[in-house]
């Protein structure tokens, strides 16, 4: 019932997001389908009553599925996957920044590449674990972990720059 509700409610939105990326209705339908399959496996974590959170979740998933499909279609290889695995040794100051306003964070998040933002969103807001995200987005746990670390560091650096 819940999955059906999700499907009826969000399939147009999901299709729109996928089609914007893929620019191919057939591929976009495939992306919606694939996204639903992944969502179905995580139904236990979806609070259908929280419309905004659910909407953001389905958009995040279909967005990632479509991007992955686009890469495959274009035979495009994302070398940043490897960059993610390179340990950034630069230490980032933490404590000083803790009192900053949410606006600074929003601005920093806006500058983040989407792949970092989506994973951070799933991890911090939707409270998915690293292994759950790894399955959801079909990335290795190591990549997910590194993207979370690097995403955080990028946000902190940006905030620091602005102060």
Least distance from another protein to the Cβ atom of residue 126, Å: 10
List for the chain the helix, strand, coil content (%; round to 5).
75, 0, 25
* Stretch in the footprint of another protein (CB under 8 A) among 73-81, 82-90, 118-126, 142-150: 118-126
Q: What distance, in Å, lies between the first and last C-alpha atoms of the chain?
A: 49
Q: x/- string (CB under 8 A) for another protein, residues 76-105?
A: ------------------x--xxxxxx--x
If residue 151 lies in a helix (H) or strand (E), which one and from where to where? helix 141-162
Least distance from another protein to the Cβ atom of residue 89, Å: 18
DSSP secondary structure string, 98-144? GG--HHHHHHHHHHS-HHHHHHHIIIIIS---HHHHHHHHT--HHHH
* 8 Å CB contact between 60 and 118: yes
Among 72, 77, 125, 142, binds another protein (CB under 8 A): 125
Q: Contact residues for another protein (CB under 8 A)?
A: 1-4, 7, 11-13, 15-17, 19, 25-26, 28-30, 32-34, 36-37, 40-41, 43-49, 52, 55-56, 59-60, 94, 97-102, 105-106, 108-110, 117, 120-121, 124-125, 129, 131-132, 135, 152, 155-156
């Amino acid at each position: 019932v819940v999955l059906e509700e999700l499907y009826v409610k969000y399939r147009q939105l999901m299709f729109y997001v996928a089609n914007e990326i893929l620019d191919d209705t057939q591929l976009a339908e495939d992306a919606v389908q694939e996204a639903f399959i992944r969502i179905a496996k995580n139904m236990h974590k979806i609070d259908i009553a929280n419309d905004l959170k659910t909407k953001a979740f389905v958009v995040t998933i279909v967005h990632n599925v479509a991007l992955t499909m686009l890469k495959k279609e274009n035979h495009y290889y994302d070398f940043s996957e490897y960059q993610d695995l390179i340990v950034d040794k630069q230490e980032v100051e933490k404590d000083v920044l803790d009192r900053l306003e949410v606006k600074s964070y929003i601005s920093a998040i806006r500058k983040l590449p989407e792949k970092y933002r989506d994973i951070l969103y799933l991890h911090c807001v939707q409270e998915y674990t690293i292994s759950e995200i790894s399955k959801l987005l079909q990335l290795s746990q190591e990549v997910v972990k590194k993207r979370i670390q690097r995403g955080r560091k990028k946000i902190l650096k940006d905030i620091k720059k602005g102060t």
